[in-house]
Structure 1
Amino acid sequence: MTLKTFAPRGSRRSLLAGALLGLAVMAGAPAAAKDVAGGKDHPLVGRYDGATLQLYRAKDYEEQRLLTKKITGADIRAAGGRRLSDANAIKVAGKAFRLKYAGPKGRSALEVARNLQDGLKAKGFEILFQCRAAECSDLNGGELYFALNDESPMGRGDIRSGIPDVLYASAVLRRPEGDVYAGVYVGQFGDTPETLVDVVETRPMEAEKIVFVDASAMRKAIDADGRVALYGVLFDFDKATVRDDSRPTLDEIGKLLTANPELKVVIAGHTDAKGGFDYNVDLSKRRAAAVAAMLAKQHGVSPARLQPFGVGMASPVATNDTEAGRAKNRRVELVKVPE
């Protein structure tokens, strides 16, 4: 004999009403926001619980500046209009990530920022700089926005402008296998915070095994091949400004030309294939001219012995389809001029 159980009549009505109410709530509830396809948290930074990942970018090798000091009008003027420079930021290169999160709704930017900063500290990060609103710049709140958008090679327009309450922190994790740098920006947009995370895992690029070439090796390469490719002459992103860390290679070029006064060279600038052809030719020519000017000024090399030339993207030595290949294509070459 099978026993059947029944709920009392009143209970059955309550259950039915509850089920109908649940269906109605489900039908009217908005769908939960989903993370961007292919995106994932950086394991050393993570996310604030309940936030949604809206943007994910990763590059095998890129250079980033992270703010380490308040942005001032004096520093901007001294840097020729750049908001991030050696005066207020650290320049790091390696595998780079940019992530943007929204939410959770109802939380404050301060709460999200402080939680992320505490999380970095718990993982061993050292906070290099942190600021809120007017503490970030002596000009206006928009300076930090423009610095992170307009001066970052990882992308533009990734955060909204005109947000009055913003917080920023930069940090570094020292590791034997390579330091990790992180920049965390949180802004309040209505009742929803938005977070931008930049991470750079420093490591040598594949071409760095041939970055430094001394004067003797340059001479041997020129005698054997009529040219030498140099990866130690570096420039600010998308500019013809020679970076300070190019000095060792420039000094060796100076030694080469001083020890061989009969040697005349074409200074050929090469770029990767990003950007338009004519733009890259012009950029590479301006970069080559900047190198020639520094050799003449700092090492006394006669300008008559130096011929700047812009090759642009026209003579690659590797594929331009990967960041590692593009890094090999960005170079300066010395080409011997026949006597």
Structure 2
Amino acid sequence: MIRRTGAFLASFLLPLSLQAQDLPLELPGGAESLSYRETAVGSYALPLSGHSENGIEQRVLEGRVLRRTWRLPESATALQILAPLREQLQNLGYETLFQCQARQCGGFDFRFGIEVVPAPDMLVSLSDYEFLSAAKPLLPGQAEQAQEVVSLLVSHSGYATFLQIIETGPVMEDQPPETEPAASSPNLSEVSDEEAKPDSGDHQSEALSLSSQLLAEGHVILEGLVFKSGSVRLGQRAVQSLEELAQFLKDHPEARVLIVGHTDSVGSLASNRSLSERRAEAVRGALIENSGIDNARVQATGVGYAAPIASNLSPAGREKNRRVEAVLLSSK
């Protein structure tokens, strides 16, 4: 029986059914599995330090790699989730190698310097996350690559808390080369197959295109939201995209979205992060004001120039990178 820390956490944790070879951890009651990605023979860069002027100290491991994510009840903080999981790992024989909180880790630089499962299966607030890496001690004669290691990333982002667990260990015998279920998506079971896939006909509407892309890929670039360098001003061309996104949210009242701002690489990292956040907030504000959508269903963040879709070496590429995307978060 795993010992728990305090009456609150004892009532908060419930067993979670896992495959036999996975870590037998207990997660909070109401935990919703978002993704399960297993690679029989792969590699993972395990973070061992926060971000500094020398980057992040990492140890590259090869073997079986298992990546899983969950959405957890929003009542718990990131540390409230991490603490009992850390204790369970200790009870299983793991030793903590490194642990940090958002600011201690390095905030933005750490978050984008480590492996994170893509949204919407994992969301990380740049100011509210906890990270931990741990390993079982090597046995006499055991090769370093056979060591069992694990990393935990917990973040409270918007309306919920998200958990990512990445495990590595020796290659399992008689295991398929790679198994990965279909990418998780919000519980929009009422959506028909025809609506969920793009219409190849000549009369396909732009609204259906945005809806289809959100449902199929989990994110979409909001067309027409083209910014001049250093500007957060929305032009008239933004109206159509915002109307289409508002209609999608009205058609799917259970869905939530994250508005993500992006910049080109002109200027410092800090200034671009601030600019991208202001762009995202400007779009969020316009969407809510003009549509009446509940503001709790729309979150906003900015990632600066960390996720370009074109080269920043040309004016055309920089213009493409100055964009805003909508990421589909949840059906609850």
The two structures have a TM-score, normalised by structure 2, of 0.41
Higher helix share: 1
The two structures have a TM-score, normalised by structure 1, of 0.40
Structure having the higher Rg: 1
